[in-house]
Structure 1
Amino acid sequence: MRFNKETFVAGFALFSMFFGAGNLMLPPLLGYKAGDAWFLVIMGFAISAVVIPLLGIFAHARLQGTMLDFAKKVSPTFSLVYCILVYLISITLPSPRTASVTHEMAIEPFFGTNAWLTSTIYFVLVLLFVLNRSKILSLLGKFLSPIIFIVVLSIICISIFSMQTPAINPSEFKTPFIKGLLEGYQTFDAIGAVVVGGVIIVSLKIKGENNFDRNRKLIIGSGVLAGIGLFVIYAGMIYSGALFGADFDTTISRTDLLSGMSLKTLGSIGKVFLSILVGLACFTTAVGIVTGTADFIKGICNGSQRAYLITAIVASILGVLMGQFDVHYIIDVAIPALMFIYPLTIILILLNVLPNRFTSSLVFRTVVVVTILFSIPDFLGSIGMQDHVAPILKTLPLGVYSLAWLLPALVTLVVMNIFSKAE
């Protein structure tokens, strides 16, 4: 695989659209609580927050269409409903969360302004970028993303190499690997892969790049670079969080831990660096989400530029409204949505990566239906019905780990392929 300048620019752009609020806040506290089990947590986190999203980019490279193509083998109607759900979740949860994080960590500590002002200015700027979407790859890949990567890497390196006698606490987790895997859901990276992967494809087409094989190699190469960058940052931040086990109170919040780590590693200027990092990381993700949503609506409206404009404006307004809630509230609200849509997204990504001979329409439909059915108990448990579904989850493989859907989906995939070949 050859990496040229264009691949690096696209790779950095993809990295910046992935790396947002959750990606920045979740790993340090996860590592802090993981303690001496930090390695297992990294492995679990990497599967749901790096490997699956990377496969999502590979699927886009193979399809080179829109997100509608991800579920088209089930049915056009199902595909449309799935896409609408994903985009609706994206513009009402992870996108506004970026504004909330930016306010709490980068604006309020310095200027004392309220959340309304921050989110309004924030999404006005997001809208300006989205309306100039032809320049997105260049702006994100050449300028914003390298700054993000360098600042985060600085915090990680100083944390690791300046700690002479790190005090790593015992782990708080009974199943650190599973905890890392499920926490990776909160990054929204698998959903991000199917959303922002489409942004890369549309951006290439706008630039006049219509050679299928060339674009496939470019998308795969940029995905690999983005995946490597994400893994380095995630692993580094989880391990750094574990190293600070004795330096902070056990009840510390995600934002306070990240602020404390930057202060201890970069000194008083650390707050300034962190503010820049938070603002850039969150902003680039919001731009990617809103652009992807606007692209999708434009596509189903026969290429209407007015539909693109209206969608971008509505998504930005929703960002302002939802951005008023604090970060922890948005994360809690997101859990039910993630428990339902994430398993389905993961399965769709896997099915689209597999060769066509293993994913006939019948196999596709059956595996998707089974995944949805076995995701329902986890979803019901996440909305306060845990007592009602607990007996069911205990009888299902991996049910107690909120992964009741996994084995049934994989077994169905194998059985249906055997059944199809036997006919």
Structure 2
Amino acid sequence: MNRKDLIAIGFMTFALFLGAGNLIFPPLMAQQAGEYWLLAIAGFLLTAVGLPALTIIVLGRLSSADKLTASLPKWMDRSFWILVLTTLGPAFVLPRAVTVAYEMGIKPFVNGNYLFIFSISFCALTLLLALKPGRLVDYIGKVMTPALISMLALLIIAAIINPLGSTSPATEIYKQAPTVNGLVQGYMTLDAIAAVAFGWVIIQAIKSKGVTSTKAIAKYSRWIAGIYAILMSSCYLAMGYLGATSSNIAPNALNGGEILTRYAAGEFGQAGQVLLAAITLMACLTTTIGLTNANAQYYKNTYRIPFKISATLILGLTAIVSNFGLETIIEVSFPAILILCPIAIALILATVSLPFPNKPSTTHTVIVLIATLFGTIDALSILDKLPLTVIEPFTKWLPFYSAHMSWLVPVFITIVISKLLSFRSEKMIPA
């Protein structure tokens, strides 16, 4: 693979992850962190960028995304991928991207509700671009991503030359532990689970350039993860700077979208709204194309369903679900992602730390079951569905429960014990 294609796939990877949600997370966090915003962003980058980058590297080392679950029983393997891709696809993330694109990209400029017409049009455009998966690197990596970066750069340069405020006092939680809270916020972007889905697209893009050997796929995946990490970290730092300097134009903002909207208008007036709308529409479009491709690739490879049929059905469902409204979509589907994310990270950690079997493994199965159990506890906690009788003991005795990562220590302990047992087994085998 030549350098130009490698950079294009790296750009494509950045654009796949950069949805509107990624743009609005850091500004609000940085505004709340005040003078500690750089410390908060540092923690944010470790989980929001570090975990997805690690996932890309691991999947590249495996040379195929579906090998991540090869160590699980077949029913668990299939259930994991169907749940992940359905939730990231037509059940939650795809409709969310469509509705966010409409709310931030179209609604400010029209009178009346045109979500139905927009959702059909947006999904049709996504389908048109997704139906040629071999051209994704050309569409996204070589055309759409440079345009997206240029628009973001325009907003950031204007903010650096003419900041619209200074840092405001930090809220209490960021005064006490800015980096730790940044870590938690980065984890809550849930991009680690998105990286598992995008692995299908990234590896296919590498193979489309004539790369076939496992060693070469692993090498190029590391480079791509590096390009993605640099671009995404730069974007998050820039969005954080906007939030940190938004005290005058968006004091006590309710969300990051409000900060971006007011900042763009403050720098460019009406043209700023158009610029932000273009950024949002482009970011959402690249994400919907990537997730549609990941879903269709899985059903093609696993169930031999033609790519065109899968992609059409997925986007047809997306257009329908989009019209239920963003709040309903989140309420119904968000719990599934909260549970699936710890499972995905646990599988990545197990793959990095333990010998990787190509057949069902009791060790990997136990790790997934533990991640599922404690991930469910975290999800119920986030959704305020736990009874009061268990909240106090969990807060006192369950490590990282308050950070919604109570699965981490049990999974880590299981991996360490499994590692020690594998060492012992190796020593007992006669030379």
Quote the Cα distance in structure 2 between the aligned partners of 1:149 and 1:352. 33
Partner of 1:257: 259
1:24 aligns with 2:26: no
For structure 1, the 5+ residue unaligned runs are none
> Quick check: 1:97–1:323 contact (8 Å CA) kept in 2?
yes
Cα offsets for 1:183-229 (capped at 9, x unmatched)? 33453421221111211222343454323333332222122101110
- Alpha-carbon distance, 1:251 to partner: 4.6
- Alpha-carbon distance, 1:276 to partner: 1.2
Q: SS of the counterpart of 2:49?
A: helix
Partner of 1:408: 410
Which among 197, 200, 215 is matched to residue 199 of structure 2? 197
Q: Structure 2 vs 1, CA of residues 107 and 164 (structure 1 numbering), >3 Å: closer, same or farther?
A: closer
Structure 2 letter corresponding to 1:125 = L
The count of residues paired between Structure 1 and Structure 2 equals 418
Matches within 5 A, 1:75-94: 75-91=73-89, 92-94=91-93
Cα offsets for 1:252-289 (capped at 9, x unmatched)? 34332221111223343211111111111100000000
Quote the Cα distance in structure 1 between the aligned partners of 2:330 and 2:179. 21
> Quick check: 1:14–1:226 contact (8 Å CA) kept in 2?
yes
Q: Structure 2 vs 1, CA of residues 158 and 169 (structure 1 numbering), >3 Å: closer, same or farther?
A: farther
TM-score, normalised on structure 1?
0.91
Q: SS of the counterpart of 1:245?
A: coil
Partner of 2:45: 46
Matches within 5 A, 1:337-352: 337-352=336-351
Partner of 2:141: 141
Quote the Cα distance in structure 2 between the aligned partners of 1:148 and 1:22. 15
TM-score, normalised on structure 2?
0.89
Percent sequence identity over aligned pairs: 28
Structure 1 letter corresponding to 2:376 = I
Quote the Cα distance in structure 1 between the aligned partners of 2:46 and 2:333. 20
Q: SS of the counterpart of 1:197?
A: helix
> Quick check: 1:17–1:288 contact (8 Å CA) kept in 2?
yes
Cα offsets for 1:291-350 (capped at 9, x unmatched)? 100000011123x42xx2222122112221232355465455554223211111111122
Quote the Cα distance in structure 2 between the aligned partners of 1:246 and 1:110. 25
Matches within 5 A, 1:98-113: 98-112=97-111, 113=113
> Quick check: 2:98–2:122 contact (8 Å CA) kept in 1?
yes
Cα offsets for 1:81-115 (capped at 9, x unmatched)? 11111001101211111111111111111233511
1:266 aligns with 2:264: no
1:422 aligns with 2:421: no
Partner of 1:284: 286
Quote the Cα distance in structure 2 between the aligned partners of 1:55 and 1:196. 13
Q: Structure 2 vs 1, CA of residues 124 and 138 (structure 1 numbering), >3 Å: closer, same or farther?
A: same
Matches within 5 A, 1:297-336: 297-302=299-304, 304-305=305-306, 308-327=307-326, 330-331=329-330, 333-336=332-335
Partner of 2:429: none
For structure 2, the 5+ residue unaligned runs are 426-431
1:390 aligns with 2:388: no
Quote the Cα distance in structure 2 between the aligned partners of 1:301 and 1:357. 25
> Quick check: 1:209–1:215 contact (8 Å CA) kept in 2?
yes
> Quick check: 2:13–2:228 contact (8 Å CA) kept in 1?
yes
Q: SS of the counterpart of 1:402?
A: coil
Partner of 2:428: none
Structure 2 letter corresponding to 1:61 = G
Quote the Cα distance in structure 1 between the aligned partners of 2:98 and 2:157. 27
Quote the Cα distance in structure 2 between the aligned partners of 1:396 and 1:20. 33
Q: SS of the counterpart of 2:237?
A: helix
Mean CA deviation greater in 351-360 or 247-256: 351-360
